[in-house]
A and B are shown apart, each in its own frame.
Chain A
Amino acid sequence: MLIKTIFSGFGGQGVLSMGYTLANTAMHEGKYVTYLPSYGVEVRGGTANCTVVISDEEIASPVASEPEFVVAMNQLSFVRFQSILQSGGLLLVNSSLVNTSSARGDIEIISVPTSELAEKLGQIKVANMVMLGAFIKATSIVSFDFLIDHLAEILGEGKSKLIQLNKDALETGYNFIKE
């Protein structure tokens, strides 16, 4: 197993922490993992993205030229990254902000209205965790129960006050996706 995922969106949407949380979960599960943040000539309000590779064996390259999965939180990222997705790959889009009418025909698309779902929880900032919950349900790339059980450890000390909110957000996204 070698799965490459690109998380993308505006700077400030929590795209990097989505990728970091996934990578950290996979590490705690004992998998090989690499996390590569984009660090180009990024600008405030511009696009941010990161690549997470998860594998059962040593990972040769942390770069994904043809990822299996893409998460696009805004229109610009959708346009930019749908073109490099593998044929038959899965694209999760933030349908609160992204219009997918120009999508490729050979990929699967799952739309998640992250802003609306997050607002129901009273905190738009957790839209990224809503998306991550949906992503994990759709891909089964890591164990959702494992993430929930080890959430405090995975999110780290800085987020200790926000565990319940993050848990609710992850579950909202997870339950949004039908079996």
Chain B
Amino acid sequence: MKRLMSGNAAVGEAAILSGCTCYFGYPITPQNELTEYMAKRMPESGGIFIQAESEIAAINMVLGASVAGARAMTSSSSPGISLKQEGISYLAADELPAVIVNMVRGGPGMGNISPAQSDYMQATRGGGHGDYKTIVLAPSSVQELADIVPVAFDLADMYRNPVIILGDGMLGQMMEPVEFEHIKKTKDYPKDYILTGAENRPSRMVRSLLFDTKEEEEHNWKLFRKFQRIENNEIRYETYLVEDAELVVIAYGIAARIAKGAIKRLRQESIKAGLLRPITLWPFPYKQIRELAKTINDFFVFEMSTGQMVEDVKLSLEGRGHISFYGRPGGVIPTPIEIARIISRHYYKSQKVRKS
């Protein structure tokens, strides 16, 4: 049965169904409903809920729970996620699974509490110090937000790496019908690294302090090889009407949804626009976008920022095709009509260039 739920609450319910037993949070708008939901539901489901004294404490509680073998999660919004970066770097270095939810708000600094996509670079480039990556998942509806939670926990366990769910204020706040019946913990991952007391087995150590440069170098290459495996196996994306498209819009999350509305309008005006929506922002669908450039010359990137993912699109195309960018930073949510108008203007301009 479908339930009308906010994105924040849906993440909470999906996490519990995915076997999350530890949630540590600290309030910040626009993700408060997630912490609120967990405060109520975690004790009911036999899990642990702690409202930490700070974001930094919360992420380190996640580290502690994870090293003990639990499926652990924390959530915040942009400024709070910045505070968690030290912990995320340690999780990556220690190769510990964790799920971190970021309902992005306008920035930089305190910014505002409106939806934005300005944390793309922070999320996809590791975010903290050191040579590491986090897997970044970017859903675009409340249902997809719920669906992606078990995927996030599985990827975290499978690769022993932190996974970021990158939403935004709108996805967190808005309510949509959600189905939970198919969401469950699929399997148990063997955890031969966790600290459970060394009775009847040799002791283990989980640490990121490697004074020996040779050892640290080898650790970095080991992580690098893992990230290569993730790049080879875990790219997720969706396409919409790209088969006959003359122009492809590239957008993710809530922006992709607005772009899809714009494309529906453009199709009615016989403008052959399509959409590629990366679902994993890291690993990014570089090859898939490059592949499109064999038949398509025009690419239009739309983000609710001044332009961050557009850099990955440029890396994908390696100089092929033509890229235009439209951005609305600061918490502004453009309408599908506005985006349709901008794409259409751009389309006719490039048609003219092609003819001359």
Residues of A within 8 A of B (CB): 20, 23-24, 27, 32-37, 39-41, 58-63, 65
Contact = CB atoms under 8 A, between A and B. Distances in A.
A80 B170 CA distance: 22
Interface stretch (B52-60, B171-179, B195-203): B171-179
A35 B177 CA distance: 10
A33 B142 CA distance: 11
B6 to A, nearest CB: 8
23 contacts: A23-B4, A27-B2, A27-B177, A33-B4, A34-B174, A34-B175, A35-B175, A36-B173, A36-B175, A37-B175, A39-B173, A40-B113, A41-B113, A60-B258, A60-B260, A60-B336, A61-B257, A61-B333, A61-B336, A62-B170, A63-B170, A63-B333, A65-B335
B29 interface: yes
A111 to B, nearest CB: 29
B176 A33 contact: yes
Contact of A61 (B4, B29, B169, B335): B335
Interface residues of B, number: 22
Contacts of A39: 29-30, 113, 169, 173
The 5 closest A-B pairs by CB, nearest first: A60-B261, A35-B175, A60-B336, A27-B177, A36-B174
B146 interface: no
B219 interface: no
Contact of A35 (B4, B113, B257): B4
B4 A63 contact: no
Contacts of A41: 113
Contacts of B174: 34-36, 62
A141 B262 CA distance: 24
B176 A34 contact: yes
Interface string B254-269: 0001101110100000
A36 B258 contact: no
A60 B266 CA distance: 14
A58 B256 CA distance: 13
A35 to B, nearest CB: 4
Most buried by A among B174, B257, B261, B336: B174
Given A33-B4, A35-B4, A40-B113, A60 B170 contact: no
A54 to B, nearest CB: 11
Interface in B233-273: 257-258, 260-262, 264
A24 B335 contact: no
Nearest to B333: A63
Nearest to A153: B1
Nearest to B29: A39
Given A33-B4, A62-B170, 12 more contacts: A27-B2, A27-B177, A32-B177, A36-B170, A36-B173, A36-B175, A39-B113, A40-B113, A61-B258, A61-B336, A63-B333, A65-B335
Contact of A23 (B170, B175, B257, B335): B175
B4 A24 contact: yes
Contacts of A35: 4, 174-176
B34 to A, nearest CB: 14
A61 B264 CA distance: 13
A83 B129 CA distance: 49
A24 B177 CA distance: 8
Contacts of A34: 174-176
A60 B173 contact: no
B2 A61 contact: no
Contacts of B176: 33-35
A100 B113 CA distance: 33
A60 B4 contact: no
A31 B260 CA distance: 19
Nearest to B254: A61
B30 A61 contact: no
Contacts of A36: 170, 173-175
A37 B32 CA distance: 14
A44 to B, nearest CB: 16
A32 B177 CA distance: 8
A93 to B, nearest CB: 25
B2 A63 contact: no
A33 B141 CA distance: 11
B108 to A, nearest CB: 19
B28 to A, nearest CB: 12
